[in-house]
Homo-oligomer: A and B are copies of this chain.
């Protein structure tokens, strides 16, 4: 099976809306039709269809139409790339602030020994 992996641009953009994050949380509990979701999020069908289509584009949701009802469920994308990017950033971030802390610590030590020497 060839699976299309949406780039981080598409997935982070999909996550930048509170309704879309809410829809993912909802589908994490149970599948739902577009109508269910529109009602739950106090939205028009057209508005909800747009949100679902963004989530589908990012690979987070799949939909299936049976008769007149389109059912939405979670897609196979587990946000592994998104989690990995953030984790890698957090490592860089921690290293960067540790390095700064060391510089500050070093300056403090120099100040202390300077004070001692000039006493």
Contacts and interface: CB of A to CB of B under 8 A. Distances in A.
A32 to B, nearest CB: 12
Nearest to A82: B86
A78 B90 contact: yes
Number of copies: 2
> Chain A contact residues: over half helix, strand or loop, or mixed?
helix
A108 interface: no
Interface residues of A, number: 32
Contact of A28 (B21, B74, B79, B92): B92
Nearest to A27: B96
Contact of A9 (B18, B74, B93): B18
A72 to B, nearest CB: 12
